[in-house]
Structure 1
Amino acid sequence: MEDVLRPIYQERASHPQTLGILMIEKGSDYSPETDLFDVVLFVIVREGREPIFIKHYAFEEKSASLHIVDERQVKEWVLFGSNRKVMNWLLNGKVLFDRNEYIEQWRQRLLQFPVDERKVKMGIEFAKLVRRYIEGRSFFEKDQWLDAYNHVLHALHHLARLSIIENGFYPEVTVWNQVKHIEPQIHKLYAELVGSEEPLDKRLQLLFLASDFFIHSKLKQGASHLIHVLQKKKTSWSMAELLDEQELAVYGVDLAILLEFLVEKHILSVEKIATKGQGVFHRHYMVEKK
């Protein structure tokens, strides 16, 4: 298979912008990691005309998919976990071309998982966990149990990913297999939610109680990155300033709900700044002094 595709990837390897090329072969008849193609050629470039460019090929009754991806896009996928199959490609793909050991450096970085990157990813997962938990609780209190179930399931997924990251690993596609060995209590919660014969409302009630405990236990680590950014640059922040801070852009739409949650938990405090309106104040956020 590699021989047939050699002219395609050798052409890409000759481009000065190409940093590395990996080949990933389909592992079984049903293999979502290659989008059901027989083989994927994953080309990382320093700067592409567009973030992602894909071509499909047919050869010898087989199929191939060529992905040419800007390295900034790869970094974003790894940071946000928004394209988890790429993790497998980077770690386990066959190296066909590696300019100045670019792929090898990627692999070392993924295996070592630097503490700074870990804190950012924990913050992202914690913010998503908080949003899903609060939205699920809201549906539960309105007796909308199926919607509550959907949000709790996602909350548990973020909790599992957070636990894996906290222990120094990148979450893989098989998150529940990972967390079963790392923090089996969380795996047990998931099993009880999807497999218990208890009525759905009873299962959800127990899950919310357990989630309260786990969110509290992950609070310090989950808020660590946000607190670090807030304390590093100034003592008091308006919402506009927070949204304009590049290091906090990773939280996206989850930033506001995370801030309010941390205020409720007395991690952050609110400073009231007078406006021209009588009795109306701007809210500024600051890390609460212990």
Structure 2
Amino acid sequence: MENRLRPIYQERASHPNTLGIVIVEKKLNTFPVTDNFDAILLVIVKESTPSLSIKHYDYENSKASLYTVAEAQLKEWLFMGSNRKVIEWILNGKAIFDRNEYINNLKDELKEFPQHQRKIKMGIEFGKLIRRYQDGKAFFEIGHYLDAYNNVIHALHHLARLAVIESGLHPEVIVWPQVRQIDPSIYKLYEELVESEETLGKRLELLFLASEFLIHTRAKQGGQHLLEVLGNKDDSWTFGEILGHPDLSYYQVDLELMLEFLVEKHLIEIEKVPTKGKDIFHRNYIVK
């Protein structure tokens, strides 16, 4: 297959802007990380406008997809975990062009999974977990069980990915076989939710009781990066200061929920600052 696709990528390999090229072939009886294409060609370049372009090709009753991605876009995907298939392409694909061992070094970096990146990814998953869990609980309490179920399924996926990241690994596209090995208690929750013969309402009720402990025990790890950033300042923070801090931009819309959750768990304290209004205070935050 590589030889048949050579005319597509050969010219790109000779261009000085190209850092590396990876080929990923579709495998039988496995989840199609190639999006059902027979082959994926991933061309990583220093700069590109737009930052991503995709072309499709037919050859010998087969089909291939060519991704040309700028290095900055690729690094964002890898750092944020927003395109997990690309992680699998790099880790498991074959480097057919590798300028100055760029692909090889990228693989090493992904396998090492530096602690700083791990903390941020845990924070991102933790924020999404809290949002989905609280939304699911709110729907459950007003009797909207199907909406509650949808949110809880997503919450369990975030909890699963959080457990995988804690163990020092990147979550795979198929995350549950990973979790079954790493944290069977989370897998058991998921299994009971989707396979139990209890009514949906009863399944949800039992899951909320059981998952509360699992989420509580991960509060410190999930919020570690946020707590460390806030702990760098001796006095308290306004929410505007927290929201505008560049190191906390990863959490976006989930930041308020994360903050309030950590306040509830007594990991962050509230400092009331008087305003001009009688009995009205600014709500500031501090890590003691």
| TM-score tier after normalising by the smaller chain length | over 0.9
- Cα offset, 1:81, TM superposition: 2.0
| CA distance in 2: counterparts of 1:136 and 1:185, whole angstroms | 20
- Cα offset, 1:229, TM superposition: 0.9
* Aligned counterpart, 2:57: 57
User: Which SS does the other structure have where 1:33 is aligned?
Assistant: coil
* Aligned counterpart, 1:280: 280
* Aligned counterpart, 2:35: 35
1:231-270 residue pairs with structure 2 within 5 A? 231-233=231-233, 235-270=235-270
* Aligned counterpart, 2:201: 201
User: Which SS does the other structure have where 2:69 is aligned?
Assistant: strand
User: Which SS does the other structure have where 2:232 is aligned?
Assistant: helix
* Aligned counterpart, 1:156: 156
| CA distance in 2: counterparts of 1:147 and 1:99, whole angstroms | 49
Task: Say which is worse superposed, 76-85 or 86-95, in terms of deviation.
Answer: 76-85
| CA distance in 1: counterparts of 2:167 and 2:235, whole angstroms | 31
User: Which SS does the other structure have where 1:34 is aligned?
Assistant: coil
* Aligned counterpart, 2:140: 140
- The amino acid that maps onto 1:258 is M
On the 8 A contact 1:189/1:207 being kept in 2, the answer is: yes
| CA distance in 2: counterparts of 1:255 and 1:221, whole angstroms | 16
| CA distance in 1: counterparts of 2:213 and 2:15, whole angstroms | 53
* Aligned counterpart, 2:98: 98
- Whether 2:18 is the aligned partner of 1:15: answer no
- Cα offset, 1:114, TM superposition: 1.2
* Aligned counterpart, 2:188: 188
- The amino acid that maps onto 2:127 is A
- The amino acid that maps onto 1:58 is D
Q: Deviations over 1:211-230 (max 9, x none)?
A: 11001111111111101111
Aligned residues: 288
Task: Say which is worse superposed, 29-38 or 147-156, in terms of deviation.
Answer: 29-38
User: Which SS does the other structure have where 2:231 is aligned?
Assistant: helix
- Cα offset, 1:30, TM superposition: 8.3
Give runs of ≥4 in structure 1 deviating > 6 Å: none
* Aligned counterpart, 2:172: 172
Question: Unaligned stretches of 5+ in structure 2?
Answer: none
| CA distance in 1: counterparts of 2:56 and 2:234, whole angstroms | 50
- The amino acid that maps onto 1:157 is H
| CA distance in 1: counterparts of 2:233 and 2:20, whole angstroms | 37
On the 8 A contact 1:236/1:285 being kept in 2, the answer is: yes
TM-score with structure 1 setting the length: 0.95
Task: Say which is worse superposed, 262-271 or 226-235, in terms of deviation.
Answer: 226-235
- Cα offset, 1:61, TM superposition: 2.2
- Cα offset, 1:194, TM superposition: 0.2
Q: Deviations over 1:6-38 (max 9, x none)?
A: 122121112222111000111138863112111
- The amino acid that maps onto 1:143 is G
User: Which SS does the other structure have where 2:218 is aligned?
Assistant: helix
- The amino acid that maps onto 1:276 is K
Question: Unaligned stretches of 5+ in structure 1?
Answer: none
- The amino acid that maps onto 1:152 is V
| CA distance in 2: counterparts of 1:29 and 1:59, whole angstroms | 22
On the 8 A contact 1:29/1:36 being kept in 2, the answer is: no
- Percentage of pairs with the same residue: 58
* Aligned counterpart, 1:46: 46
- Cα offset, 1:273, TM superposition: 2.3
| CA distance in 2: counterparts of 1:233 and 1:117, whole angstroms | 21
* Aligned counterpart, 2:70: 70
* Aligned counterpart, 1:110: 110
- Cα offset, 1:4, TM superposition: 2.3
- Cα offset, 1:204, TM superposition: 0.6
- Cα offset, 1:205, TM superposition: 0.8
- Cα offset, 1:251, TM superposition: 0.5
Coordinate RMSD, CA, aligned = 1.5
- Cα offset, 1:174, TM superposition: 1.4
| CA distance in 2: counterparts of 1:237 and 1:11, whole angstroms | 53
Q: Pick closer, same or farther for the CA change 1:207–1:244 going to 2, 3 Å.
A: same
Q: Deviations over 1:216-275 (max 9, x none)?
A: 111111111101111124532112111211110110100011111111111111222233
TM-score with structure 2 setting the length: 0.96
| CA distance in 2: counterparts of 1:279 and 1:68, whole angstroms | 58
